[in-house]
Amino acid sequence: MYWVIGEYASDKQTIQSLERKRLLHKSFLRDRIAFEQVPYLISLIKQQGGILLSPSKGESFGLSAAEFLSAGVPVLLSNIPAHAELVEADERFLYPLGDISQAREKILWLCANWEEASLSLLQIGKKFESVNFINSWKSFTQTFK
């Protein structure tokens, strides 16, 4: 099953593209997910051995990617600065924006190596644990004093 979530999830072009590829009947389309439902969604995707694909052109942080990788759900992210920082520039989890061929190859790798990717991302995700995050934020705010 494919989950398509975001601003353009249910627009005409997305739907037509899924129809052409005969994937519409296997797809779940949502514009947004309520914040309080995110943990349930992540848990469901993790239980099914799913991955997160984020083809963003720009992010200031990449909250959804951080949430998924912190839970140990493998992610494939467009190689933009915010995403690269999230995964510590680990090329296994990044693809050049617009390079569908490389994205496809990496999705196949993530599916075949789901457990390895999950464990690697759990390690990377430790920097988002509350204590580490708060200490990082305190350090950041000290630069303004």
Residue 96 pLDDT more than 90?
yes
**Top-confidence residue, 40 or 78:** 78
Question: Do 62 and 83 contact (CB within 8 A), yes or no?
Answer: yes
Is 113 part of any domain?
yes
Give the per-residue pLDDT at 144. 80
Residue 133, both tokens: 């995050």
Position 2 confidence tier, pLDDT thresholds 50, 70, 90: low
Between β-strands 2-5 and 52-54, what pairing exists: parallel, antiparallel or unpaired? Answer: unpaired
Find the mean pLDDT for residues 72-92. Answer: 94
Structural domain range at position 66: 33-142
> Looking at the domain assignment, is residue 27 inside a domain?
no
Asked if residue 33 has pLDDT above 80, the reply is no
Gap between the Cα atoms of 76 and 97, Å rounded: 11
The pLDDT score that the predictor gives to residue 86 is 92
**Is residue 5 domain-resident?**
no
48 has a pLDDT exceeding 80: yes
pLDDT score of 63 = 85
Distance between CA atoms of residues 145 and 89, nearest Å: 30
CA dihedral for 111, 72, 84, 1, sign (positive or negative): positive
Question: Is residue 19, in this structure, part of any structural domain at all?
Answer: no
Q: According to the model, what pLDDT value does residue 12 have?
A: 79
> For residue range 9-26, what is the model confidence (pLDDT) as tens digits?
667 787 787 778 787 777
Confidence of residue 132 (pLDDT cuts 50, 70, 90): low
At residue 28, the pLDDT reads 64
- Beta bridge mates, 125: none
Average pLDDT over residues 92-101: 94
Residue 90, pLDDT above cutoff 80: yes
Name the token pair of 131: 């204590």
Give the CATH number of the domain where residue 104 resides: 3.40.50.2000
Residue 26 forms part of a structural domain: no
Asked if residues 102 and 44 have their Cβ atoms less than 8 Å apart, the reply is no
Helix (H) or strand (E) holding 118: helix 114-125
Q: Is residue 20 one of the residues assigned to a domain?
A: no
Give strand ranges (E) for the chain.
Answer: 2-5, 27-30, 52-54, 75-78, 94-95
Residue that wins the pLDDT comparison between 145 and 49: 49
Give the span between the Cα atoms of 69 and 138, in whole angstroms: 23
